[in-house]
A and B are shown apart, each in its own frame.
Chain A
Amino acid sequence: MVRLIASLVGAAFVFVLGLALFGTVSDWITNPPPESAEHEFHREALDAGLPSNGVLGRFDRRQVQRGFQVFQEVCSACHSLKYVSFRDLRQIGYSEAEVKAIAKGWKIEQPSINAETGEASTRPNVPSDRFPSPFANEVAARAANNNALPPDLSLMAKARHNGANYIYSLVGHGYVNQPAELLRKFPGAKTPTGLHYNQYFANLNIAMPPPLTQDGQVTYSDGTRASVDQMAKDVSAFLTWTAEPNLEARHSAGFAAVIFILIFCFLAWGAYQNVWRDVKH
């Protein structure tokens, strides 16, 4: 009885799947999926070659600091970093005094209230503050950016596939002229005004204007030549750190854990051999 019912249920599912399959095939033939510009012209991200990659990867403190400088001087005009505090900069090698100075001198102040009148006001940042958003709210952010919202960058390196390389490619090598071939094949796909063609952005047209436009846009305090490629790499290193500040601790702990577990395996294997030595199995 169970088997009879089962075979009927099975037959029903298989039959309906057969119908669905027929539908898929006929649909495929009568109306093949249109080619899309994204499918053909979207590029896989280039490798930024960051030293934090790899099993025992670590941050290059100087590079992360340079990346912070790029963020400070360029990206922070539009992007927030709401999960990172000024004091976290201690981890990438800034001294306590430097952190205080950076917080105090930060162009965007913290929202606050006037202690006497209770009216809304702002105050300078202190190390325990998170990096403030350059815009008061989403409406203001959109109004200033052609109705697009610049996303928070704290987690960006984990929030995109292959994130660190993606950020590097997007801001360092993504802005090119829209290929003539694309326009020939997809005449309707011309980048609309207000958007910018970027070969690494998912739909190829991004609202962010090219943020890194010329070599030397930032003057690195450590003397490194600030080519667009270098700035893009450095900012991607910085955002890798903001997304995963515990990366180094994780790698070191992992190294120790693996050694410990290997010793455990070795001992367990020995015990196993010993216990079973007289029993064929």
Chain B
Amino acid sequence: MIVGERKPLAEIAELLEPFRKILVLGCGTCVTVCLAGGEKEAAETASALAVLRKKAGKEAEIDTQTMVRQCEYEFIDEDKDKLDNYDAILSLACGVGVQTMTTRLPEKIIMPGLNTTFMGYPLEQGVWTENCLGCGDCELGLTMGICPITRCSKSMMNGPCGGSQEEKCEVSKDVDCAWHLIYERLLKLGMAGRMAVIQPPKNWATSHHGGPRTSVREDVRLENGK
């Protein structure tokens, strides 16, 4: 899923400073699951913001709503009428949602309420961890399910660097060394021989380094984009 963290309230207040009628709009999918921008967080953000504005002597009218998904036109269109009559919308969706909303509703002002942090999964209650950078050419088949691009701090393709010690990465004792994990896993699977195969330079053009990406599936495309 996409993981995010709510922006600090002070930053949100600054973004919304010029506006009086504000809608805090939660998103019902990824950011609800990662407890950053769902219905509950929208309500909390709205009341905290209201207090702050009142203190500042600049009272605001703040409502909250939650959309099923802010990253698809279909859901935006469904709720569109409920979004009128606001000076600004604080979207608690990820950056994808904020932009999809902006594209679909160009007449509205949509402000980001979250910092979109990464694609990952919940490791345990309250802890999320990054495990895919969307490089566009998945290497997991080589490393048997552990991503060297994302989970190795240096995106190494050919084994652990000299900073790997006691299973931890040199950047932090809190980060596992991905290559230690890969090594152990290959060993367990009887595939340690793979460590000796030189992986050639990666083609980063399939990743964001090739420019913003668009994915087209001609077989499921409708005419006129409808």
Real binding pair: no
